Amino acid sequence: MKKFLLTVTLLFSCVLAFAQVQLSPEGERKCLELTRSMSIKLRLNEAEYIRLKALNRSHVAKTDEILRAYSQDDRLKTEKIAELEKGYEKTLTSFLKPNQLQAYAVYKEEKKVRFMASSEEN
């Protein structure tokens, strides 16, 4: 029971910490679409969905911030985005179960293929 209460308390704290991130309507839409898509592909339960949404909100906000702050310096912008992605991956994979990790690997690969296909069209 103590472990359960501790887990719920920590989860609630994380949600509150991430909930304070302010996003533009466009950023909020991106976050919601990403979270919904990932939750379906990864078969997340409600608690995992909440954690993922908080993580995605933070990720989208930080990405937008980096894009604005380093708009004149492509090298530094790329470096900061890569650093942010590593942190995102680490946090995300810390709460996924083994079968969800496999589904996430497939999701990432599909996302990469879609990106490459859309790049070729342009």
Q: How far apart are alpha carbons 99 and 90 in whole angstroms?
A: 16
φ and ψ of 13, to 5 deg: -65, -45
Q: pLDDT digit of tens for each residue in the chain (122 aa)?
A: 777 766 767 676 666 555 556 788 898 999 999 999 999 999 999 999 999 999 999 999 999 999 999 999 999 999 999 999 999 999 999 999 999 999 999 999 988 777 666 656 65
Terminal alpha carbon distance of the chain: 55
Domain boundaries, the chain: 2-121
Local structure of residue 46 (DSSP, 8 states): H
Q: How far apart are alpha carbons 85 and 76 in whole angstroms?
A: 14
pTM attached to this predicted model: 0.75
